[in-house]
Amino acid sequence: MVKKILKIEQLKTYFYTWAGIVKAVDGVDIDVNEGETLGLVGESGSGKSVTALSIIRIVPSPGKIVEGKILYKGENLVEKKEKTLQNIRGKEIAYIFQDPATSLNPVFSIANQLIEVILRHQKISKKEALEKAIELFRLVEIPDPEIKIWNYPHQLSGGMKQRMAIARALASQPNLLLADEPTTNLDVTIQAQILELMKNLRNKLGMSMILITHDMGVVADIADRITVLYAGRVCETADTKTIFYNPKHPYTQALLTAVPSLVLKTEKLTVIPGSIPNLIEPPSGCRFHPRCEYAQQGCKETIPDLIEIEPGHKVACLRTSEIDLKSPLGGINNN
Amino acid sequence: MQNLVKHFPITSRGIILKKQVGLIHAVDGISFSVNKGETFGLVGESGCGKTTTARSILYLDPPTSGKINFEGNDLVSVFKSRNKAEKLKLRRKIQYVFQNPYASLDPRMTVADIITEPLVIHNLVPKKNCLQRLYELLELVGLEEYHAERYPHEFSGGQRQRICIARALAVEPTLLIADEPVASLDVSVRAQILNLLRELQQKFNTTFLYISHDLSTVRHICHRVAVMYMGRIVEVAKTKNLFDSPLHPYTKALISSIPIPDPMAKKSRIILTGEVPSPINPPVGCRFEARCTYKKDQKCVTNVPKLVDVGNNHFVACEKTKKS
């Protein structure tokens, strides 16, 4: 039996804005096994980032976790006191933010920022902390760590900053790493470097990871399992192969066919009509129904439950058994 | 001139932007030509000079030196002159769709104002027909008539980009420069815009200069592609040839580093070491020399590789490729 390191049940995070309540995350179930990488996929506004921020409870105001449980190693983080949480953040669960340029403090040297994290969670002297920081820099493959560590963020390139952000996240050897679009702002050749680095580090340190991205190519490469989010709800969860070769939710399939890629050789891209719904007044029933080509009357009225259709493969669609979806990649071939 | 194939030979040499101390060699001697009716892709990583190239075509960034020919006119000399009528005529023929649809629409103008402004400036349509033309354009890009009275903030990113495209098409340009038109859009909306651009091109036979860092969209939309690295073109070829048999080591690495959305795909990724060197003090010879995966020799360090035809309209700038 694989141990679950994180289990989120019916998480609801709402933002109370003047225009109304934005239901950014509306009943999300996610679980992460020990040592596993979960890919959290969805478009902007699907609630990926808010879910991750909710886990360590740093949802910016006016957002609030309204309902749900976040079980980390069996303990509910939603009910924890702020003091206890501070000892979990950065130590047990670390976060890599999307934009390395804004997640680093421009007025402190990198050494300063790394040492701060290390001293917060470990009882060692400043000198030892510095040695540790340099060690971390070596881990994330930054050349000349002894010199580079005294640089300020503006002296580093985007790729280097992201390496530094990864080093900071790894400072206390977390059990769970939340990586929020770690490569979105980087060029493709640098993205390849960072992804390779993250894969190596994960294997070396054996930690669990939630990788948030909108790029199906990135998750195909690095994730063990994938959860697809749409408008604050989970559409489908399965292992990576199943998601790509045997998708059961129309949105998952649409995501695979609408993205131009080097694999697909179609002339015209399949288009998902319309755009992402307004989350103040989300569509009734299944949230994807206004854009779904398989939608029926029932889809407008009933909210589909996340049902396990085969071991490890959960889908939230009323018509799963009726419709026959084809993956653009063809069926599963086990070679 | 009405030749069978109309060329826009764009030959710019040594476009250098001045900046305080020293020079940023943003674009450093590039030449390419775009044929009428084709989509020409310009790809490269950030800072390689794609946008600068496009902006100098419209004289938004005046080139330091070099020539840009458009339908037989020397663009640089026209834009340098004080001949306003001539300038306006050229500007009508070359239109630009900017990268960020959130920044390129005036928030205080309605969509109707935005799209009809170019019609008024260029005096193309009599005033009473403006409205009709506006509705035509809106329909063309997949918007509704009632959208005309709205302001940009009422639209989503995809819709805004449609407005930008409608504005650019209003004056019936012969060359449309699209600078990363889908980079800031969501994946599901991206496909809509790309398909729209394709349809419009087939309909009007407009020439596109499509600028992007995203190779997968480039492959989808372009006929020919030029790959840029640090202000120079390293490879030009037909899209199919470029993706099936890239020759320059940088192109190879670039193509191999795109994540493939298929967990079973063979992964033979070429990971480049290091990063793009500073354009203020670029390497003397081949600019890619320091990161190149090929075996290097003295020639790479000292000689600037020239774009050489290797057959089949495939051009490469690499000392090593020539020999093999």
Distance between CA atoms of residues A201 and B43, nearest Å: 31
Question: Looking at chain A, which runs of residues are DSSP E strands?
Answer: 4-17, 20-33, 37-41, 63-72, 75-76, 93-96, 176-180, 208-213, 225-230, 233-239, 307-310, 313-315
Q: Do A333 and B261 touch (CB under 8 A)?
A: no
Q: Which residue has the tokens 């476009």?
A: B15
How does pLDDT run across B25-61, given as a tens digit for each residue? Answer: 778 778 888 888 889 999 988 778 888 888 888 888 7
B57 contacts: CB under 8 Å, gap ≥ 6: B10, B68, B70, B75, B94, B177, B209
Contact B175, B142 (CB under 8 A): no
Q: Say yes or no to pLDDT of B174 above 50.
A: yes
Residue A335: what pLDDT? 36
How far apart are alpha carbons B48 and B60 in whole angstroms?
Answer: 18
Residue B5 in this model has a pLDDT that exceeds 50: no
Low-confidence ranges of chain A (pLDDT < 50): 333-335
Of residues A10 and B274, the one with the higher pLDDT is: A10
- For residue B312, what are its two tokens? 């089949």
A15 or B7, which is more confident: A15
By three-state DSSP, how is residue A94 classified? strand
* Predicted structure pTM score: 0.81
Average pLDDT, chain B: 82
Q: Region of A46 please: left (phi>0), alpha (psi -120 to 50) or beta.
A: alpha
**Which of A7-11, B249-253, B297-301 is the least confident region?**
B297-301
CA distance B11 to chain A (A): 27
Query: Taking CB atoms and an 8 Å cutoff, what residues of chain A touch B220?
Result: 260, 269
Residue B12 confidence (pLDDT) above 60: no
**A282 vs A276, B185, B290, CA distance in Å?**
10, 21, 52
What pLDDT does residue A37 have?
93
Give the DSSP H/E element, type plus range, for residue A139.
helix A126-139
Which of B187, B195, B272 lies closest to A43 in CB terms? Answer: B187
Interface test with A, best of B144, B147, B187, B266 (most A CBs within 10 A): B187
Residue to substitute from A48, A188, A215, interface B, most B β-carbons within 10 A = A188
Q: Which residues of B touch A269 (CB under 8 A)?
A: 191, 194-195, 220
Alpha helices in B61-104 (DSSP H): 75-80, 84-93
Q: Per-residue pLDDT for B14 more than 80? A: no
Å from A323 to nearest chain B CA? 21
Cβ separation of A196 and B269 shorter than 8 Å? yes
Please identify which residue in the block is written with the tokens 């990113």: B157
**B295, burial (CB in 10 Å: exposed 0-12, middle 13-18, buried 19+):** exposed
Contact between A296 and A319 (Cβ < 8 Å): yes
Q: pLDDT at residue B9 above 80?
A: no
Peptide bond into A62 cis (omega under 30): yes
Spatial neighbors of B206 by CB under 8 A, at least 6 apart, are: B37, B169, B173, B174, B175, B176, B200
What does the CA dihedral B223, B70, B230, B40 come to, rounded to 10 degrees?
A: -10
| Percentage of residues of chain B with pLDDT beyond 70 | 91
Q: Residue A40 pairs with which residues in a beta bridge?
A: A212, A227
Q: Given the DSSP bridges, would you call strands B207-212 and B39-43 parallel, antiparallel or unpaired?
A: parallel
The pLDDT, as a whole number, for residue A36 is 92
Say what the pLDDT of residue B267 is: 66
Question: Are the beta carbons of B248 and B319 closer than 8 angstroms?
Answer: no
pLDDT (0 to 100) of residue B226: 92
| Cross-strand bridge partners of residue A16 | A21
Amino acid code (one letter) for B57: I
From chain A residues 177-206, the ones with a CB under 8 A of any chain B CB are 187-193, 195-196
Q: Convert the pLDDT of each residue in B53-94 to its tens digit.
A: 888 888 887 777 777 888 877 888 888 888 888 888 888 889
Q: Are A218 and A186 in contact (CB under 8 A)?
A: no
Output the six-digit token pair for A104: 């680093």
Residue A27 · residue A13 · CB < 8 Å = no
Q: Would the CB atoms of B275 and A241 count as touching at under 8 Å?
A: no
CB proximity list for A101: less than 8 A, separation 6 or greater = A153, A158, A161, A185
- Listed residue (A263, A222, A248, A218) closest to A327, CA to CA: A248
CA distance B52 to A263: 31
- Bridge partners, residue A93, by sequence: A89, A176
Element at B98 (helix H, strand E): none
3-state secondary structure at position B234: strand
What is the rounded distance in angstroms from the CA atom of residue A10 to the CA atom of residue A312?
A: 18
Taking an 8 Å cut-off on Cβ atoms, the answer to whether B261 and A187 are in contact is: no
Bridge partners of A25, per DSSP, are: A13
Is the pLDDT confidence value at B280 over 60? yes
Q: Residue B22: its pLDDT value, please?
A: 60
To which H or E segment does residue A183 belong? none
pLDDT at position B3 is 29
Alpha-carbon span B81 to A164, nearest angstrom: 50
- Return the bridge partners of B164, or none: none
Contact A259 B272 (CB under 8 A): no
Strands (E), A97-224: 176-180, 208-213
Confirm or reject contact between B159 and chain A (CB < 8 A). Answer: yes
B255 touches chain A (CB under 8 A): yes
Is B153 an interface residue toward A (CB < 8 Å)? no
Q: Is the pLDDT of residue B278 over 50?
A: yes
Contact A258 B188 (CB under 8 A): yes
Looking at residue A256, its pLDDT comes to 85
CB contact under 8 A, A188 and B186: no
Q: Specify the pLDDT at position B16.
A: 52
